[in-house]
Structure 1
Amino acid sequence: MTEPVAYSTVWHVVSIAIVFLLGLFFCVLIGRKIGIGFRFSVFLYLYHSFWCLVYFWYAGMHGSDAFAYYNQGLLGIDRIWFGSHAIVIVVSFLTSVFSLSYLGVFLFFNFLGAVGYLFFYSSLRCASIGSKKWVNYLIFSVLLLPSVSFWSSALGKDAISFLAVNLALWSALDFSRRMSLMYLAILLMLVVRPHMAGLLVMSLSVALFFDSRAGTLRKVFLGAVFTLGAVFLVPFALDYAGVKGGANIDSVMDFIDKRQSITKGESSVDISSMSFPVKLLSYAFRPMIFEATSVFGLAASFDNLILMFLFIYGICLGFWRKLNPEYGNIIFIVFYLFGAWAVLALTTTNLGIALRQKWMFSPFLIYLCLSYINQRQLGRLK
């Protein structure tokens, strides 16, 4: 497929500048609303945008789904509103209404990912209140991991799913005041990855049911609403994902086998034959440094080394111990984290794909580990 031209008219150049500056303006505005200072909001946006340009260059050198999204968007509106089709619809709107160029559309999706990046940082700050300096340095090193910004800065589903995941995480820290953001997170995830939206709704239903701080009437009402939503959403998500014959065990296992065969690839490590625990660990923390075969593989392996350190440290502190309520709704966080981790590890066996898809649960894992580290530092682990 022929690579789209980054820009070809004066308006393309002007619109690129407009999209970039508007993105900066709204990121600063949103950052202020969620407690991030002006300078750091600017830094995070510029850093995220840097990786957007790196991805833009990488796509031009090695090819990318972004080409197909943009070219399909130029052809007109798609009739299906979910998954890849939703991205085509957004691209079609941006190119037909605002005449944005390929790079301009890239920067729009970069803005969406950058907003998710801001919410991710704000959540990690909440996990480190009162912590020692080294914990704050650890958070900063996590923010600078290339894969955090690389995948979420490009034209595609990952920018929107990353935004949705971090909105959900930030909302889970205080459901009483941020439930509207959870609704937005579910809607955004439903548009690009319906099966993960179903998991968000299921996690929310479980969290509300076991929330000891909620009144009985409110618990029953909200639990019924979200359970009913899950009843309708999960079958739709399964059907969209390709599970035929309903949600029985045979159809789900057939789907897993089909997905494993589709996502196998010669260029990446295949985990389909591994045991379930090894699949989980491989999905989240491989490739390792000694498995890297390129500069980008080396960067990914370095990211995985930091994530593994956080995970092992969290295990050593004891995931079974209770976190204080100030760290948010842990039931929701744990249920979604391990649910998403298991689903993705079972259905995606190619670690090349896993490198970007694991960021649909990694923010939850990082937040949970940092919460245990911070609570231990403050001497409050029960």
Structure 2
Amino acid sequence: MIGAIVLILFLFLLNQGLFNSFEKKYRWFSKKLMNLLFLYHLFFFGVYYTYAYFSPSDSKRYYERPQMFDSWWEYFGTSTTFIDFMSWPFINVLGFSYEMMMVLFAWSGYIGFVYAYLFFRENIPIKIKVFNIDFLTLILFLPNMHFWTASLGKGAPIFMSLMMFAYAVKDPKSRWGTLLIGSLITYYIRPHVFLFVAAGTVLGFMTGKEKIAFWKKLVVYVGMIGSLLMVQDTILGMAGLNESEDLVEGFTEFSEERGGELAKSGSGVDMANYPLPVKLFTFWFRPLFFDAPGVLGLIVSVENLIYLLLFFKIVKGDFLKFLKKSPISVKMSLTTFFLASIAMAFVMSNLGIIMRQKSMVMYFLFFVIYYYLAQKKYDKILKKRRLLKRRQKAEEADLVAQ
């Protein structure tokens, strides 16, 4: 445990260097907010560590597996194997204990929140309040998001890589390193999620309102589509579809089999016969209070209610009109969110796993909601300014006439 405390202090100092660089780049960057968020995330590291200590946890297996083989490259691969590959040098070379590995991965989850903050604030300078709380502050401090990104496992690094990608794609030329790291980690941990992100990016650049040089669009198209073609066998292999002659039928069989396995647990829900809208509702907003699995489920139900109330903010008649004129970042986020949601809604039949998995993609929905509300506020500000100018011109005309 002493090693974990020393590591926390080292990472805190590392954060300060990172924050100083962001402060120089962005006038709006709040070092105070990020430090508070770090302490908040550490609290959930403590909660998860306590939870893992008294109950079975995948984090323990993630610590044990990298010690089985002496060769680092034995672990190079996708999905769970890549987490073992990331952990191997820290455990076998640097001698990190289980507690230290938990801290390290929790920190990677925290870095995801830092990049989420950058992604939101850079693209949406207007502040919005919901439920009398600053929107960005609210979503940055949602407890379920921190709980599932504060431990040794897939949740923390995949969240970090997705937020790095979302931040970097705005300016890929100067942020190519961040974009590359985000892309590689996303692909190696969850190849199918990389597929959704790549598809969302291509669609965003095709339909976004920004005027972008053709050669820049071409670079994005070739890069993303080329990457997908190169890794298509791995992505299809994750669902056992690489040798399937009918991908639709193959995915249907895979989703039914996977859903059936997950539904066997205590918090399973039989989603096989649900229509797609109900499956999506279940994935996004359940458990709610009526089907919460245990105390954790009740806490998550409160958060899910917040998700639901936020979602209602975009259930408006002018949302489609806004979407049509929205920028690349909005269309990329919405496409990624929907594609990932649809795919996972077909295979998730366990509320416990749903609570964990959706933490990957909910921030993309929050971004769309935040941008929509900010755009409406900005339009009102512009309308007031135009009315004020008309009044001023009318008053000046009256003075001239007199």
Same fold (TM over 0.5): yes
Native 8 Å contact 2:239 2:251 kept in 1:
no
Q: 1:351, CA displacement in angstroms?
A: 1.8
**Does residue 215 of the first structure (1) align with residue 213 of the second (2)?**
yes
Q: Which moved more, 1:30-39 or 1:264-273?
A: 30-39
- Which residue pairs with 1:53 in the alignment? 46
Quick one: distance in 1 between partners of 2:359 and 2:318? 23
User: Cα–Cα, structure 1 residues 326 and 293, in superposed 2: closer, same or farther, change >3 Å?
Assistant: closer
- Are the equivalent residues in 1 in contact too, given 2:330–2:367 (CA < 8 A)? no
Question: How is 1:170-181 mapped onto 2 (pairs within 5 angstroms)?
Answer: 170-175=167-172, 177-181=174-178
Q: How does 1:48-87 map to 2 (within 5 A)?
A: 48-76=41-69, 77=72, 78-87=74-83
- Which structure is larger by alpha-carbon Rg, 1 or 2? 2
Match of 2:340 in 1: 340
Amino acid at match of 1:200: V
Query: Is 1:96 aligned to 2:84, yes or no?
Result: no
CA distance in 1 between partners of 2:334 and 2:86 (Å): 32
Q: Partner of 2:161 in structure 1?
A: 164
**Aligned residue pairs, count:** 370
> More displaced, 125-134 or 20-29?
125-134
Q: Deviation digits for residues 1-44 of structure 1, max 9, x if unmatched?
A: xxxxxx5xxxxx2x323321222123333334444322222111
Distance 1:222 1:366 in 2: 25
Q: Which residue of 2 aligns with 1:196?
A: 193
- Give the TM-score, by structure 2 length: 0.84
Aligned to 2:151: 154
**Preserved CA contact (<8 Å) 1:69 1:87:** yes
Contact 2:241 2:247 in 1 (8 A): no
* Mapping of residues 124-163 of structure 1, within 5 Å: 124-126=120-122, 128-134=124-130, 137-163=134-160
Q: Which residue of 2 aligns with 1:273?
A: 273
- 8 Å Cα contact 1:202/1:230 also seen in 2: no
Matched residue type, 1:214? I
* Separation in structure 2 between the aligned mates of residue 130 and residue 48 of structure 1, nearest angstrom: 26
Return the offset for 1:164: 1.3
1-side partners of 2:265 and 2:226: how far apart?
42
Q: Percent same amino acid at aligned positions?
A: 23
Matched residue type, 1:45: F
Task: Give the TM-score, by structure 1 length.
Answer: 0.88
Corresponding residue for 1:10?
A: none
Maintained 8 Å contact 2:207/2:328: no
What is the distance in 2 between the residues matched to 1:132 and 1:334?
Answer: 20
- The equivalent residue for 2:262 is 263
Q: Which sections of structure 2, spanning at least 5 residues, go unmatched?
A: 384-402
Distance in 1 of aligned mates of 2:117 and 2:301: 22
- Is structure 2 residue 182 aligned with structure 1 residue 185? yes
Question: Is the 1:199–1:340 contact (alpha carbons within 8 Å) kept by the matching residues of 2?
Answer: yes
Q: How far does residue 121 in structure 1 lie from its aligned partner after superposition?
A: 2.3
Equivalent position of 1:3 in the other structure: none
Within 1, Cα distance between the matches of 2:223 and 2:290? 49
Q: Which moved more, 1:253-262 or 1:175-184?
A: 175-184
Structure 1 residue 269: deviation in Å? 4.2
* Matched-pair contact (CA < 8 Å) for 1:172–1:328: no
CA gap of 1:352–1:318, structure 2 versus 1, over 3 A, is: farther
Alignment gaps of 5+ in structure 1: 1-6, 8-12
Q: Which moved more, 1:81-90 or 1:20-29?
A: 20-29
Match of 2:227 in 1: 229
Q: Is the 8 A contact 2:186 2:194 kept in 1?
A: yes
CA distance in 2, matches of 1:282, 1:159: 23
SS in 2 for 1:153: coil
Which letter does structure 1 place at the counterpart of 2:88? S
Deviations 1:178-219 (A, max 9, x none): 454332211111121111112222222333344552222332
Aligned equivalents of 1:332, 1:82: Cα separation in 2: 24
- 2:253 maps to a residue whose letter is D
CA distance in structure 2 between the partners assigned to 1:184 and 1:204 by the alignment:
16
**Alignment partner of 1:329: what SS?**
helix
Q: RMSD in angstroms over aligned alpha carbons?
A: 2.5
- Per the alignment, residue 249 of structure 2 pairs with 250
Taking the aligned partners of 1:334 and 1:132, their CA distance within structure 2 comes to 20
Give the stretch that moved more between structures: 179-188 or 113-122: 179-188
